[in-house]
Every structure is written in structure tokens, then in C-alpha cells.
Amino acid sequence: MLAVAAPRMTPAGWTLRAVVSAHAVAIAGQPVFAGMYLTGDYAGLSLHSAGADVVTSIGYLQVIVAIVVWVRLRQAWPFLATSAVVAAETVQYFAGLDGALWLHLPLGVTTVVAVVVQFIDVWRRPLLRQGAADA
Amino acid sequence: MPSGRGVTRRQMLGIGGALGLMAATGLTSAAALARRPSITGAQLRSAVPLPPPFQVPLPVPAVLKPVGTSGGADRYEITQCEASAEILPGVTTPMWTYNGTFPGPTIESRRGRPVTVSHRNELPVPTVVHLHGGRTPAASDGYPTDLLLPEGRQEHSMHMGHGSEHGMHDPRAVVTELTRDYTFPLDQRPTLLWYHDHRMDFTAPAIWRGLAGLHIVRDDAEDALGLPAGPRELPLMIADRAFAADGSLAYPALDPTLRVRPGVREPYLAGVLGDVILVNGAPWPVHEVDAARYRLRILNASNARHYELEAVTGDGHRLDLVQIGADQGLLAAPVVHRLLPIAPAERYDVVVDFSGVPIGGLVKVVNRLGSGRTRDVMAFRVARKAADDSRVPRTLSTDLPAWRRSDAVRVRDFAFRAGRMHSGHGWLIGGLPFDPARTDVTTRLGDVEVWRLIADVHHPVHLHLVGFRVLSRSGRPPLPHDAGLKDTVSLRPGEAVEIITRFDGYRGRYLFHCHNAEHEDMGMMANLEIV
Ligand SMILES: [Cu+2]
């Protein structure tokens, strides 16, 4: 760890960290709002659906950032992981609108876990240009 | 591989793969284990052989004749008594009945012409009669503690299920012995109502045993529309039941005498479903029809079973279900459905046109939410060609109330969900189980209110006294079948519904509750005081 003398994070890397962090914060609110709603707080419903819009929007933004990371840093992983998360969130969005709770609940837990794992992944090591890091 | 990383790429791949596998397993098990479509309740299994479908002719309940008329009001008499019925061919079933039949006799009445029904209780338990959908003064609305005791059972007034067990009693209860007059002004839109037992803690088993009947209100404006009438107007009371080996109706009551301990065995807490579908008291009946339009006045009188009805011809083609009315009477204009969801206590007034069906053809009424035997409901056999001068006008009514959100003087929120009551499982409204001595909602006569109802599982929510309109479902516009004026709205799991109503008619103590009859008995009722 100390051998690699402070490798410089590029702006693309920092942007990915920022977007993934925002994504994690937004998605953490969703079960909270769902809990409010299901215990009878009607405001929880609008918060949960507004939250769904925010989470999916951040997801799509993250896809764009991940593409930039892929192009600039030659790292495909963030893009692949983000695509999986965004696909799950899209299904999740419509499962919620549809009232398909058998899918909405477990998939919701899964997507929260996936975003948290991604959050850990982007923060635990610097995103460097592929090749530069391995050199 | 970079040596500086705590986790190698291979390990990352392994972790990612494991998480992916967990997610896939979780979602697959959810898909396999969850009920799709979702159903609230557990099904009993009959212990007698069940008849094949579409063999028994559809009965139509007899219309009760008044015993007298005075001062522009009709007087009827109904005796609540035990009787044996042959519901399944060759099987004798002891039942609790209104006048010895199931369903009870139908009362036909005219808008604004009061009706008094004198009920005589010859059953072994106290009873309460409620006219569902009736705009009725509180004294005749059948409050659950306003008991009608059997003869010589005065001590029962001290024994009212969990009320007395837990040191609560209802000082406002008006208890009578042997007979009781219920007066219904019927100053309301013409529609299909139904009367049924509403006794504290034991409504569900009493309805299950047979205490339900129809009450129709008509007026001149509706008669003038030219809708299918006479033999081409059929009431259809759909209800599921299950049969024990001795032919009696199976029901998982904790107290089989239905006197002291309310509730059902644990697996059935969410609701009791039967494996036999009855229409007007007959299992999977068949009815011969002309190749013409019919007006079907459908009531779901099941305790907990929901249906999604469709009418399917022999070649698999679905007939239009043209909805002309809701719980509280005619819509403004017809709404065409192919699939019609109906929750317990809801009514739909529907016109079906059999003229395109070949003579001899069978039209099955199917429940898309059922499986196996409960998928079939009944069938129509198209027997003959016939002239048809009926019509479905484009405008059905012009008197529907047009309340707007801005008219509402207050907004109330209610959560309908599972919870604990008196150390047992129960169903709660706003976190509380029913208590006759607690006023949950107080409103002024004439006030317009918006109520926001939120459900955890299926809860068909019913308000006594008033009709309401559905404003939204889960923040989105109402569904096509929410049209018109309703008195029961079906909340699906996780769903929120906004309704608007005006509390007018009469002052007094009324109820609102879930019409899943098991939920209702296990706490899911609340008091509505109109002052
Ligand atoms: Cu309920």
C-alpha cells in the first residue's frame, strides 16, 4: 500500500466517488420512507416515490460517469457494476408502481446492498488509469 | 496483480459472484414462495366430495312480501332460525338463516319509501342486523353491541366477547330480546344493498353460517332507462364456503359455540377462504339465458375472498362487462371492463350481452385470482334467440355528488395493518383495535372530508351511512372500476387510497371497518361519531 507513492486520482475517479456516494445516501432513504408509509404516514408515499425518481436519476448519471471512467481510465468494472445496479433499479421502479411487492421488497434490499458494495469499492482504493497502476 | 491492494481482483470477483448468487437465490425464492397474484387469507379444504361445475341451476332468492303497509311504509317480518339446506347435491348442511333460506329473502323497495323489518331471533346466539350500504339512522344501523338476544338470554348482554373479557363494556348499547324493529328510510340512490349479521366479535362466522340477504332499492328514473329487466336482471351473490365431513360448514372458530371467545385459529388470521364457490347459495351454478343483454347485480358476500371476474365464451373469447353501477348506484356513464376485480362487500352492476354467443354455447364466469376449483364461478348456457329491446344509455345518471378536494374541511389518515391486541394477533386501524367505548372520529353533519387509507395487506374498507368517491390510488388516478359512488374500497397490499365524502343523513354513532370479516372481528373497526 505504501509502495505506490500517492497515486493521483483523476477528476473522473473523483466524480465517480461523488456520484456513488450520492447514490448510496439517496437509496438509504427509500426503506425509511417505505416504513413511514406502511405505518400510516401518507407523506411517506410521496417521499418514497420522489426518492425513487432521485435514485434512478442518480443511477443513470452514474452510468454516464462510469462510461467516462471506462474511456479515460480504461476501467470497465465500474461500468459493468453500475449497469447491473441500474437495471435492477429500473425493474425495482416498475415493480413498485405495479404493487408487485414479492419482487419489490427483496429486490429493494438487493439494490441497497449492491450500491453499498459499490460505495466501499470506489472508496477503498484510488481509481487509476489501467496500466499506470499495474506498472 | 497489484500487491498493494488488500483484496485481489480474483477475490473481488469471488465476492461479487457470491453476492450475485445470493441476490439471484433471494429473488428466485421470492418468486417461488410469494403468492402471485397476492391473496390475503388461507383456504379451508372440504371433507366431502365436491360436485362438478355448471350442473346445479342458479337459484334466485325469493322476494319477501310485506306483512302490512301503514302510512306509506312497508312492514316486513324475518325470523332468524336454524335450518337445513342442501347446498351440495345429496349433502345436508345445517345453517343459520333469515327465514330458513340461504341467501335470505330479497327485499325490494322504492327510494324514499321507508321499510320496517321486524327481526325475530330464534338462533342460539345474539344477533345484530346491518343493512350494508343503507343510509340508515344510527338506531337501526346495527351497531355491533346493539344486540338482539334470543328469548330468555338476557344474561348475554353482560357477555359480549372481548369487550367484557377485558373489562370494557359499552354503556351506549341498546339490547333487545327476541324481536327488534329495524327502520330503513331508504332515502338514497337506487342500488343493491345487502343485510347481514354484524354482532360484536362474531360477524364472520355468522355470515359464513348463512346470515346474509339482498335488499334492492329502485326508483322511477332508473326504471325509465330501459336496462335489461325482469328475468333478464339477475342478482348474483358470490360467496365461498367449505364443508366438513358431516356436511356442516367448516369454519376455524376458536369457540365453536360462537358465544364467548372470538377469533379464528392462527393459520386463518388473515381471512378464511372456502374451496367451494357459491352463487346465490348454489355451487358453481349454471343459468339458461336468452341470446340477449342481461343485467347482473354482483355482490361479493365472501368473508375474505377477492375475485377478478371475466366472462369467457367456449372459444376463449372474453365478453365485455359493461359496468353501469357501483356500490351506491348508477355511474354517470357506462365503463367497459374485460376483467372486473371485486372485493368482499363490493357490488358491481354489470350488463353482459349474450347475443353474439352461438345458441347452445356456454359462457363461463371465471375468477382469475382463483386456482383449481376456485377458478370457476358459474356459467351461462345460451339457450335461445330472443328479441331484445333493452338498452344501455350513454348517460346513466346525473346526480352523482361532485365533491372537490377544496370542499374538504379536513383530511384524515388511517393505516390498516396487522398488530397485537389483548395479547393476541389482531388487525388495527391507526394502531388501535376496536373499542366500542372510544370515539375514533368525530365529524359534523354536513362536513366534507378527505380520508387517506393505507394498507399492509388486502383490506376492503367500508364506511357505514355514507357513499364516497375514490380520488386516487397510491398517488395516481383511480382505476376504471373505482368509478361512481362507493361504500367499500378495496386496498391492495401496500396501497394507499384517497376518498372524499360528505357526512350527511343522520347524526349518531356509526362505524367504519375492514370488510374482510375475519379482520373485522379481530379488531379492525373504528367508531365514527357524527354530531
Ligand atoms: Cu382487513
Looking at the structure, tell me whether residues B206 and B270 fall in a common domain: no
Distance CA A59, CA A111 (A): 11
Asked if B508 and B462 count as a contact pair (C-beta separation under 8 A), the reply is no
Select from B514, B498, B506 the least CA-distant residue to B408: B498
pLDDT band at B3 (very low <50, low <70, confident <90, very high): very low
Please say if the pLDDT value at position A2 is more than 90. Answer: no
Give me the residue label for grid cell 417521499. A47
Average pLDDT over residues B200-209: 97
pLDDT band at A36 (very low <50, low <70, confident <90, very high): confident
Please say if the pLDDT value at position B11 is more than 60. Answer: yes
Distance CA B213, CA B221 (A): 25
Asked if A19 and A85 count as a contact pair (C-beta separation under 8 A), the reply is no
Q: Domain for residue B57, yes or no?
A: no
Query: Percentage of chain B with pLDDT > 70?
Result: 95
Of B16, B413, B417, the CB nearest to A42: B413
Please say if the pLDDT value at position A53 is more than 80. Answer: yes
Of A40, A45, A110, the CB nearest to B474: A45
* Residue B4: per-residue pLDDT: 45
Looking at the structure, tell me whether residues B279 and B377 fall in a common domain: yes
**How far does A49 lie from chain B, in Å, by closest CA?**
9
Distance CA B294, CA B280 (A): 17
Q: Which of B174, B195, B219 is the last residue of a domain?
A: B219
Please say if the pLDDT value at position A93 is more than 90. Answer: yes
Looking at the structure, tell me whether residues B456 and B417 fall in a common domain: yes
Beta carbons of A134 and B430 less than 8 Å apart: no
For B61-115, what is each residue's pLDDT tens digit?
999 999 999 888 999 999 999 999 999 999 999 999 999 999 999 999 999 999 9
pLDDT band at B525 (very low <50, low <70, confident <90, very high): very high
Looking at the structure, tell me whether residues B249 and B353 fall in a common domain: yes
**Which residues of A, range 80-119, sit inside 8 Å of B by Cβ?**
81, 99-107, 109-110, 113-114, 117
Beta carbons of A3 and B19 less than 8 Å apart: no
The sheet that has B282-283: what strands, in order across it? Answer: B282-283, B276-279, B233-241, B293-300, B347-353, B321-326, B329-337
> Which chain B residue has the Cα nearest residue A135?
B2
B32 interface with A at CB cutoff 8 Å: no
**Which residues of B, range 392-421, sit inside 8 Å of A by Cβ?**
413-415, 417
Q: How many domains does chain B have?
A: 3
Average pLDDT over residues B169-185: 93
Mutate one of A30, A101, A103 to test the B interface: name it (highest B CB count within 10 A): A101
Asked if B101 and B61 count as a contact pair (C-beta separation under 8 A), the reply is yes
Looking at the structure, tell me whether residues B437 and B484 fall in a common domain: yes
Distance CA A63, CA A78 (A): 9
Mutate one of A83, A85, A94, A110 to test the B interface: name it (highest B CB count within 10 A): A110
Which residues of chain B lie closer than 8 angstroms to A2, CB-CB?
4
Average pLDDT over residues B478-492: 97
| Mean pLDDT value across chain B | 93
Asked if A114 and A85 count as a contact pair (C-beta separation under 8 A), the reply is yes
Of A113, A133, A134, the CB nearest to B19: A113
Which residues of chain B lie closer than 8 angstroms to A45, CB-CB?
454, 474-475, 496
**How far does A56 lie from chain B, in Å, by closest CA?**
19
* Residue B420: per-residue pLDDT: 83
Looking at the structure, tell me whether residues B164 and B307 fall in a common domain: no
Q: Where are the alpha helices (DSSP H) in B116-174?
A: 161-165
* Residue A1: per-residue pLDDT: 45
Q: What does the DSSP 8-state code read for residue A113? A: H
Beta carbons of A41 and B413 less than 8 Å apart: yes
Mutate one of B417, B474, B476 to test the A interface: name it (highest A CB count within 10 A): B474
Beta carbons of A45 and B2 less than 8 Å apart: no
Beta carbons of A125 and B5 less than 8 Å apart: yes
Average pLDDT over residues B513-530: 96
* Residue B72: per-residue pLDDT: 86
Which residues of chain B lie closer than 8 angstroms to A105, CB-CB?
30
For B339-384, what is each residue's pLDDT tens digit?
999 999 999 999 999 999 999 999 999 999 999 999 999 999 999 9
Structural domain harbouring B139: 70-219
Please say if the pLDDT value at position B163 is more than 50. Answer: no
Q: Which of B332, B362, B385 is the last residue of a domain?
A: B385
Please say if the pLDDT value at position B160 is more than 70. Answer: no
Mutate one of B454, B457, B498 to test the A interface: name it (highest A CB count within 10 A): B454
Beta carbons of B31 and A45 less than 8 Å apart: no
> Which chain A residue has the Cα nearest residue B15?
A117
Please say if the pLDDT value at position B154 is more than 80. Answer: no
Question: Chain A to chain B, count of Cβ pairs less than 8 Å apart?
Answer: 77
Q: Domain for residue B47, yes or no?
A: no
ipTM exceeds 0.95, yes or no = no
Of B30, B430, B495, the CB nearest to A106: B30
Report cis status (omega within 30 of 0) of the bond before B103: yes
Of B12, B415, B495, the CB nearest to A39: B415
> Which of B183-187, B260-264, B476-480 shows the lowest mean pLDDT across its residues?
B260-264
Q: Domain for residue B61, yes or no?
A: no
Please say if the pLDDT value at position A6 is more than 60. Answer: no
Asked if B130 and B236 count as a contact pair (C-beta separation under 8 A), the reply is no
Looking at the structure, tell me whether residues B185 and B250 fall in a common domain: no
Query: Percentage of chain B with pLDDT > 90?
Result: 85
- Between residues B156 and B491, the one the model is more confident about: B491
Average pLDDT over residues B45-54: 97
Asked if B75 and B67 count as a contact pair (C-beta separation under 8 A), the reply is yes
CB atoms within 10 A of CB A5: 5
Q: Domain for residue B1, yes or no?
A: no
Please say if the pLDDT value at position B162 is more than 50. Answer: no
Strand partners, B423: none
Which residues of chain B lie closer than 8 angstroms to A3, CB-CB?
3-4
Residue type at position B221: A
The sheet that has B104-110: what strands, in order across it? Answer: B104-110, B212-218, B192-197, B129-132
> Which chain B residue has the Cα nearest residue A34?
B494
* Residue A132: per-residue pLDDT: 54
pLDDT band at B6 (very low <50, low <70, confident <90, very high): low
**How far does B227 lie from chain A, in Å, by closest CA?**
36
Asked if B180 and B118 count as a contact pair (C-beta separation under 8 A), the reply is yes
Q: What does the DSSP 8-state code read for residue B139? A: G
Beta carbons of A40 and B413 less than 8 Å apart: yes
- Between residues B214 and A124, the one the model is more confident about: B214
Residue-wise DSSP of B324-367: EEETTEEEEEEEEESSEEE-TT-EEEEEEE-TTSPTT-EEEEEE
Distance from the CA of B453 to the center of ligand 1, in angstroms?
12
Could you give the angle at the alpha carbon of B125 between the alpha carbons of B119 and B126, nearest 5°?
50
Distance from the CA of B384 to the center of ligand 1, in angstroms?
44
pLDDT band at B268 (very low <50, low <70, confident <90, very high): very high
pLDDT band at B164 (very low <50, low <70, confident <90, very high): very low
Looking at the structure, tell me whether residues B335 and B243 fall in a common domain: yes
Strand partners, B67: none
The CATH number for B23's domain is: 2.60.40.420
Looking at the structure, tell me whether residues B211 and B240 fall in a common domain: no
Distance CA A65, CA B334 (A): 52
**How far does B491 lie from chain A, in Å, by closest CA?**
11
HSE, side-chain direction, 13 A CA sphere, residue B24: 7
Distance CA B474, CA B160 (A): 38
For B385-406, what is each residue's pLDDT tens digit?
999 999 999 999 999 999 999 9
B430 interface with A at CB cutoff 8 Å: yes
Average pLDDT over residues B139-165: 72
HSE, side-chain direction, 13 A CA sphere, residue B292: 21
DSSP, collapsed to helix, strand or coil, labels residue B510 as strand
Please say if the pLDDT value at position A56 is more than 60. Answer: yes
Beta carbons of A101 and B4 less than 8 Å apart: no
Asked if B302 and B241 count as a contact pair (C-beta separation under 8 A), the reply is no
Average pLDDT over residues B181-188: 97
Select from B70, B254, B108 the least CA-distant residue to B190: B108
Q: Which of B193, B219, B245 is the last residue of a domain?
A: B219
Residue type at position B386: A
Looking at the structure, tell me whether residues B368 and B438 fall in a common domain: no
What cell was used for B397? 345518471
Beta carbons of B34 and A39 less than 8 Å apart: no
Q: Domain for residue B364, yes or no?
A: yes
Select from B431, B454, B474, B449 the least CA-distant residue to B528: B449
Average pLDDT over residues B252-268: 92
pLDDT band at B18 (very low <50, low <70, confident <90, very high): confident
